[in-house]
């Protein structure tokens, strides 16, 4: 907080001290940050540090902060999926093909909470899906490789929940939420983390379904994220 003067000019010798002065001091001391014992504070406005700034001897911790990072669409295994410059998307070109996309933009001191893809069944040059919804819809899940080179999964994949052909042919999303956050600190047991996208199976139509974007949500516990 900012301390304010109880009187604009200096107090004079033997000047009578009004009761409002010590009351003001007491209130300001109560609201001041305790640099020795610490405490919990809820300021009504932002604390802005100008001048020489602040210096920390240790990385400040966070109780919890949610951070969303957009991931680059750079698959390490793409099967017959092809990149469409016109659509700005990876487009499926064979039934039941999958994409493995690594999560590379990961904040340190964090845990992975969920991943989400944006997709559109009419993104490719083949136009929109026609007839009826595919019997086997796209799915999204998270896979990781541990420090022994073993691939592991994180739960049952989430299936595209489009309820109509119109919804499927429009831009929509699939979110996979982990049953418990996956720690991804440097030096943790997980050496690489991937979004695994399985395309349309039964009912597949060529050069139509496109993956437009991938993002991931992390819980961060340090401020140098």
- Strands 98-102 and 110-120, bridge-based pairing: unpaired
Higher pLDDT, 27 or 167: 167
CB-based contacts of 84, cutoff 8 Å, min separation 6: 90, 91, 123, 124, 125, 210
56 in any annotated domain: no
What's the domain count of the chain?
1
Domain range spanning residue 163?
61-222
Whether the per-residue pLDDT at 17 is higher than 50: the answer is: yes
33 in any annotated domain: no
User: CA 125, 157, 184, 66: dihedral to nearest 10 degrees?
Assistant: 80
21 in any annotated domain: no
Using the structure block, give the residue that is written with the tokens 């690594």. Answer: 102
Could you report the per-residue pLDDT of 67-82, keeping only the tens digit for each? 999 999 999 999 999 9
Could you report the per-residue pLDDT of 151-167, keeping only the tens digit for each? 777 889 999 999 999 99
Domain at 112, CATH number: 2.60.120
42 in any annotated domain: no
C-alpha pair distances (Å), 59 with each of 43, 62, 112, 126, 185 = 22, 10, 21, 52, 15
Is the CB of residue 201 less than 8 Å from the CB of residue 95?
A: yes
6 in any annotated domain: no
45 in any annotated domain: no
Could you report the per-residue pLDDT of 91-116, keeping only the tens digit for each? 999 999 999 999 999 888 889 999 99
Q: What is the mean pLDDT of the chain?
A: 87
Maximal CA-CA distance, the chain: 95
pLDDT confidence tier of residue 4, bands split at 50, 70 and 90: confident
Higher pLDDT, 184 or 170: 170
173 in any annotated domain: yes
Is the CB of residue 169 less than 8 Å from the CB of residue 210?
A: no
Of 25-29, 47-51, 122-126, 148-152, highest mean pLDDT? 122-126
In the chain, which residue ranges form alpha helices assigned H by DSSP?
20-31, 165-169
40 in any annotated domain: no
């Amino acid at each position: 907080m900012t301390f304010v003067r109880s009187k604009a000019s200096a107090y004079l010798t033997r000047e009578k001290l009004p009761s409002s002065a010590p009351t003001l001091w007491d209130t300001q001391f109560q609201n001041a940050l305790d640099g020795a014992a610490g405490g919990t504070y809820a300021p009504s406005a932002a604390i802005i540090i100008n001048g020489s700034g602040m210096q920390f001897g240790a990385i400040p911790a966070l109780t919890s902060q949610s951070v969303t990072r957009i991931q680059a669409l750079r698959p390490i295994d793409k099967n017959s999926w092809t990149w469409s410059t016109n659509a700005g998307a990876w487009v499926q070109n064979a039934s039941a093909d999958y994409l493995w996309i690594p999560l590379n933009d990961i904040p340190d001191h964090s845990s992975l909470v969920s991943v989400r893809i944006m997709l559109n069944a009419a993104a490719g040059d083949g136009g929109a899906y026609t007839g009826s919804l595919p019997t086997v819809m796209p799915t999204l899940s998270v896979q990781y490789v541990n420090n022994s080179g073993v691939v592991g999964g994180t739960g049952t994949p989430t299936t595209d929940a489009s309820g109509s052909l119109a919804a499927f042919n429009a831009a929509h999303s699939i979110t996979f939420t982990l049953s418990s956050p996956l720690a991804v600190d440097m030096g943790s047991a997980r050496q690489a983390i991937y979004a695994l996208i399985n395309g349309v199976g039964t009912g597949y139509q060529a050069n139509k379904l496109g993956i437009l974007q991938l993002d991931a949500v992390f819980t961060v516990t340090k401020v140098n994220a």
